[in-house]
Amino acid sequence: MNELKNDRYLRALMRQPVDVTPVWMMRQAGRYLPEYKATRAQAGDFMSLCRNAELACEVTLQPLRRFPLDAAILFSDILTVPDAMGLGLYFEQGEGPRFERPVTSAEDVRKLPIPDPEQELGYVMNAVRTIRRELKGEVPLIGFSGSPWTLATYMVEGGSSKVFTRIKKMMYAEPQTLHLLLEKLAASVVLYLNAQIRAGAQAVMIFDTWGGVLTGNDYREFSLHYMHSIVDGLQREHQGRRVPVTLFTKGGGQWLEAMAATGCDALGIDWSTDIGEARRRVGDKVALQGNMDPSVLYAAPGRIEQEVAAILERYGQGEGHVLNLGHGIHQDVPPEHAGAFVEAAHRLSRSYHL
């Protein structure tokens, strides 16, 4: 495997000195880029794009050709694991992901297999190996998974939800059924992420998109507990180098201390939490990733630069910051605005690392 030419992203996650604050964007490969739309059309549909290692590699690399980003992130979907459990994932036009066979009972949970990452999810590992090879050591590759709670919400609801009534009904009326489902998902995610690490992912991230819909007690019991068990089960070193792990709970700013106590290396934060306040709360326990509102990218480049400057100032001097959006880039953002964000991040952050 190639030695990294730019490792500032990994160094920042481990709170080591860097020359500038590293920057990447959640969903940096995606529909805001015309070249992505062309490749997706070539693939036929979204899951066909994910399952084709060469095309998944192509869309992973597209934003890196445009912008001097400090990391690549595997192009995939958080629902690959439940799909591999046999729930029949499909995508409705304008509706998002759906499952043909949602989980509705304890019997459904008992029947779920724990997927073998090199078999049922082998296409993801092929994509990781292909991307890692084609990156040629330019920047590190981030692997990822959805959190058990977030995956469970889709599996029980049958797709996206705004109110989460089905999964919350299971949580309050049949908590033992939900715990059994979350245990299976945590075991599956450990296997899945460790396989990504062996295939070449140099850092991993757990996306807990829906943890923020829970009360504090329920978050700890049904979301954080299982992310903690995943952190405990991950391979934290590969090829002589530490593999940092980042936890991101959207809407989870009130639980940063509890998240930092899991033993992860970094926390992602959304735009609803002040990054300076977050840094004061977690101290030097973990690095922080974030946290510009993706909608700022609709603004003129001068306004984007102001926001980057404000986030850098609030974080302050020193190490342990990865500049990112607080969630995924919107599909109708002009690509040149994303470029302005990356350029401003590097230029304005240099003085914070002297």
List, as own/partner pairs, every contact residues 217-221 make where C-beta atoms lie below 8 angstroms and the sequence separation is at least 24, other chains included.
Answer: 218/171, 219/249, 219/252, 219/255, 220/255, 220/258
pLDDT at 1 over 80: no
Summarize the confidence of residues 329-338 as an average pLDDT. Answer: 98
Decide if 154 is catalytic: yes
Summarize the confidence of residues 188-201 as an average pLDDT. Answer: 98
Supply the pLDDT for residue 126.
Answer: 98
Supply the pLDDT for residue 3.
Answer: 84
Share of the chain above pLDDT 70, in %: 99
Q: From CA 285, how far away is CA 147, in angstroms rounded?
A: 22
Average pLDDT, the chain: 97
CB 203 within 8 A of CB 245: yes
- For residue 91, what is the DSSP state? E
Decide if 40 is catalytic: yes
Decide if 90 is catalytic: no
List, as own/partner pairs, every contact residues 163-167 make where C-beta atoms lie below 8 angstroms and the sequence separation is at least 24, other chains included.
Answer: 164/210, 164/213, 166/102
Active site residue: 66, 77, 101, 236, which one? 77
Summarize the confidence of residues 83-112 as an average pLDDT. Answer: 93
Question: What's this model's pTM, rounded to 2 decimal places?
Answer: 0.97
Domain range 8-353, its CATH number among 3.30.470.20, 3.60.10.10, 3.20.20.210, 3.20.20.70: 3.20.20.210
Supply the pLDDT for residue 185.
Answer: 98
Supply the pLDDT for residue 337.
Answer: 98
**Helix axis angle, 175-199 to 165-173, nearest 10°:** 120
Decide if 270 is catalytic: no
Share of the chain above pLDDT 90, in %: 97
Q: What tens digit of pLDDT does each residue of 124-174 get?
A: 999 999 999 999 999 999 999 999 999 999 999 999 999 999 999 999 999
Summarize the confidence of residues 324-347 as an average pLDDT. Answer: 98
Is 154 among the annotated ligand-binding positions? yes
Is 353 among the annotated ligand-binding positions? no
Active site residue: 32, 36, 154, 315, which one? 154
* Domain boundaries defined on the chain: 8-353
Summarize the confidence of residues 239-266 as an average pLDDT. Answer: 97
Q: From CA 142, how far away is CA 55, in angstroms rounded?
A: 17
Is 220 among the annotated ligand-binding positions? no
Is 31 among the annotated ligand-binding positions? yes
Summarize the confidence of residues 317-324 as an average pLDDT. Answer: 98
Q: What tens digit of pLDDT does each residue of 72-97 get?
A: 999 999 999 999 999 999 987 777 89
Is 77 among the annotated ligand-binding positions? yes
Decide if 27 is catalytic: yes
Longest dimension (CA), the chain: 59
Size of the chain, expressed as the number of residues it contains: 354
pLDDT at 2 over 70: no
Summarize the confidence of residues 247-260 as an average pLDDT. Answer: 98
Summarize the confidence of residues 216-231 as an average pLDDT. Answer: 98
Supply the pLDDT for residue 44.
Answer: 93
The amino acid at 53: A
